[in-house]
Structure 1
Amino acid sequence: MSQILIQSVLLDDERVDILIQENIFQKIAKEKTLSVSDPNSVIIDGSHFAIVPAFYNTHTHAAMTFCRGLSDDVPLKIWLEKYIWPREASLTPEDVYIASRYAILEMIRSGTVFFADMYWFRTETALAARELGIRASIGVTFADLLKKDFEENCQFVEENLADYSGRVQLAIAPHAIYTNSAETLKRCAEISERFLLPYHIHVAETEHEERGSVTPTQGLSPVEFLDSLGVLSERTVAAHLVHVSEKDLQILAKRKATCAHNPCSNMKLSSGTFQMKRFLEHGIRVALGTDGAASNNNLDMREEMKFASLLAKMTSGDPTVLSATDTLKMATRNGAEAFGLNAGVIAEGKLADALLLNLGEPCFATGDVVSNWVYAANSSVIDTVICDGKLLMRHREISDSEEIERDFRNRFSSRS
């Protein structure tokens, strides 16, 4: 029986012992009260650490690490059509596998234990996630404009669903309204409903998104258009949602959809200003994502937290919007819940995903741990990463990291 005992660790300003059994937080008690009898158990002295929930990245394109720095400082449409899509046209399955492993390595180092992916060669991304021990929602990507075969995608879901029922699961991922017909968007929703899978889609990322649609939106906003098709639901994870109206927000709230907010990517591509305060006022669940490394340009969710909070304060003119505690919840619990995971909280009975932060770092010398984690720290303060009750990183060391880095450099450095 797999067990990890973390002794005298700081949790919510209190020193506690935490017992992880298999993949669950089995017991949380006062410090120096828990013990293990199994000699194979891992015992961690937590006296120098704080334990916090790990990150859940609700929108990314992991393999796009190979595109990092390829095209900076251009609008989204030009970025996609002139630089990204032509480069992706020559991708091989092995390219995606090697680039995804490199991305996951970066994610683990910066505290992420789950990512929602939308990309090509999904089986290679899934294999990389399984090998490195991370959670993932692997999008089966639909894009009529890019000639991605609908029936082949449907067949893949039906034939492989049973193999994607653990740490690595599937999602239905129509790319966007401007790359899919109305019929495809509706049929994707039917598959999502049939198999109870997330419906992961880019929505309202740019101001005139609907103008490039495969099928005319009849003057409706992207949110209104999707709602007119009957595809929005509590399973919808809508990435970006930068350009929304009051009516759009009412629809999203009514349908209980989740917004995957990507502040760094939105700012870098100058996509527009996300209206955090209005989302919160409407009770819409907001989670965080990094987007791909080509438009961010990293996969660091801790950095995403800080930008999300500061951007919300600046754009609303209200310094009380999005406290450190609320921001951490967006990056952790909200993301986990959006994808149906009983995780994102350090509590008995929850899935054992967590980070141990080194309190000896200067940023933790004074003040509140959560505040310093959101506003002052960087990911180098993460000593240990636990996912599904397993140690993915300990003392900042990750198995096979040198091999993963070498394979990536050998594969892509000559293509820069």
Structure 2
Amino acid sequence: MKTVYYNATFFTMDKENHIFDNGMMVVQDQLITYIGEHSKERMKDVDHVVNLNGKWVMPGLVNTHSHILMTLLRGIGDDMLLKPWLETKIWPIERQYTTEIASMSAQLGILEMVKSGTTTFSDMFNPNGIDPNIVMETIGETGIRGAFSYSIFSFGTEEEQKMNLLGAEQFSKDYKKIADGRLTTMVAPHSPYACTPEALIESARIAKENDLMVHIHVSETDFEIQDIENRYSNRPVEHLRKLGVFDQPTVMAHGVVLNDEERAILKQYDVRVAHNPISNLKLGSGIADVVSLLEAGVKVGIATDSTASNNNLDMFEEVRTAALLQKGMYKDATKFPAQTALTLATRGGAEVIGMGHTGSLEENKKADFITIYPHDKEHLQPISAAYSHLLYAARGSDVCDVYIDGNAIVKNRICLTIDEEKVISEVNRLQNSLLNNL
């Protein structure tokens, strides 16, 4: 199938940051085969022609760290610090999960993501009490692209810890590449505080033997830094480096509390950072110095974390917050300009999670893109300042259409792959049942 999309403004988010005001894009076999100015010649010998009627078109957004199985926990445990929030709210509730709860929560999270413009995500989940195979199958049916990873913990008895590692290793083997390559997995030790050194060494082994990336929470709070120093006489980054975790490409969620020496280590080992500004603010964890990370040559992507700590999955809001925080922290409006911010939410984020085949509108890249119709939206006027509006004014609710692999996932704000009414009804029923059983 060869399809031409025309009569639109295309924001490519490629390295040259091309913008085509009267642009055209040709998609064939899931790939972009042409992106540029309108060409009558390219309208020939095509199967389908789509007039976008003046819409804005940009790459789908990339959420580099999420927890979609926690979407059902939105609004639970608000206004708490990270450690008590996890230990008294999140983890106890997750221990009551069933596969049905996990599957519905995943669908709700994906529904929210795609309808707000996210086409690619990287996630880690707590496997306790659920069948991860069914959940992964459910995710595959939604059409989204991403990495869904089995969290490794060092909780419970020695036998329970062993089973957790065995489960994670089997999941890594089974789901390295599925759904026609749209979905993969990473090896996901939860954090240096929730995993023993032995579990972290095993995580590194599993990642190396299966040629997978690592996804882990690191350096999120001052308390974590002190805790790991007290336990192991090293800060988290050095602790993980010594255990060999960074020997495989690693996505480090948060990175709020880092020093210059640690940023140099991240650069040396190609450790990438998933920056979660709103979650870090809500949990009182602090503000990551993203400007210093970028100046040190560290790859950075933008992320939402879970709706239990955010409380939404709107990447437009997330990237705007990221930009404004850096400007405010440095008291310098030139820091973190729009081009940098939007790159981190698209092409840069895709590179962070090892999916450089998406994230920008370029020839031979996957046809993952979203559209916005700005003409009836007062907050996107004057329309001539479109690039600015994408960062400083746009909302997830402005997204009209979402395509992944060239397939329509959302059309005119209706998701075509998820039964929206059923999911919304079921998650409310299931949350009530879950909380009543605690």
- TM-score, length basis structure 2: 0.89
1:385 aligns with 2:402: yes
Distance 2:230 2:180 in 1: 37
- 1:164–1:170 CA contact under 8 A, matched in 2: no
1:20 aligns with 2:27: yes
1:341-356 to structure 2, matched below 5 A, reads: 341=355, 342-356=357-371
- 2:253–2:273 CA contact under 8 A, matched in 1: yes
Shift of residue 312, structure 1, vs aligned partner:
0.7
AA aligned to 1:387 is I
Gap change, CA 1:359 and 1:340, over 3 Å in 2: same
- 2:74–2:308 CA contact under 8 A, matched in 1: yes
- 1:7–1:32 CA contact under 8 A, matched in 2: no
Give 5+ residue unaligned stretches, structure 1. none
Give 5+ residue unaligned stretches, structure 2. 11-18
Structure 1, 173-182 or 222-231: larger mean CA deviation: 222-231
- 2:177–2:183 CA contact under 8 A, matched in 1: no
- 1:171–1:198 CA contact under 8 A, matched in 2: yes
Gap change, CA 1:10 and 1:243, over 3 Å in 2: same
Gap change, CA 1:112 and 1:189, over 3 Å in 2: same
- 1:56–1:336 CA contact under 8 A, matched in 2: yes
AA aligned to 1:282 is A
Identify the match of residue 193 of structure 1 among 196, 208, 212: 208
Structure 1, residues 321-348: CA drift from partner, whole Å, max 9, x if none? 1111110110111121122221111111
Match for residue 287 of structure 1?
301
Match for residue 4 of structure 2?
5
**Aligned-pair identity (%):** 32
Distance 2:359 2:413 in 1: 21
Structure 1, residues 29-65: CA drift from partner, whole Å, max 9, x if none? 42252325455x3x32123211111111110110111
- 1:240–1:259 CA contact under 8 A, matched in 2: yes
Identify the match of residue 365 of structure 1 among 370, 378, 381: 381
Aligned length: 412
Distance 1:144 1:377 in 2: 42
- 1:113–1:135 CA contact under 8 A, matched in 2: yes
Distance 2:21 2:248 in 1: 35
- TM-score, length basis structure 1: 0.94
1:33-52 to structure 2, matched below 5 A, reads: 33=40, 34-35=42-43, 37=45, 39=47, 41=48, 43-52=49-58
Structure 1, 311-320 or 151-160: larger mean CA deviation: 151-160
AA aligned to 2:84 is I
Structure 1, 395-404 or 372-381: larger mean CA deviation: 395-404
Shift of residue 163, structure 1, vs aligned partner:
4.1
C-alpha root-mean-square deviation of aligned residues, in Å?
1.9
Structure 1, 344-353 or 10-19: larger mean CA deviation: 10-19
Match for residue 254 of structure 2?
240
Identify the match of residue 333 of structure 1 among 347, 350, 369: 347
Match for residue 84 of structure 2?
78
Structure 1, 237-246 or 6-15: larger mean CA deviation: 6-15
For residue 250 of structure 1, give the secondary structure of its aligned residue in structure 2. helix
For residue 181 of structure 2, give the secondary structure of its aligned residue in structure 1. coil
Distance 1:106 1:127 in 2: 18
Distance 2:64 2:175 in 1: 22
Shift of residue 359, structure 1, vs aligned partner:
2.2
Match for residue 173 of structure 2?
158
Match for residue 132 of structure 1?
142
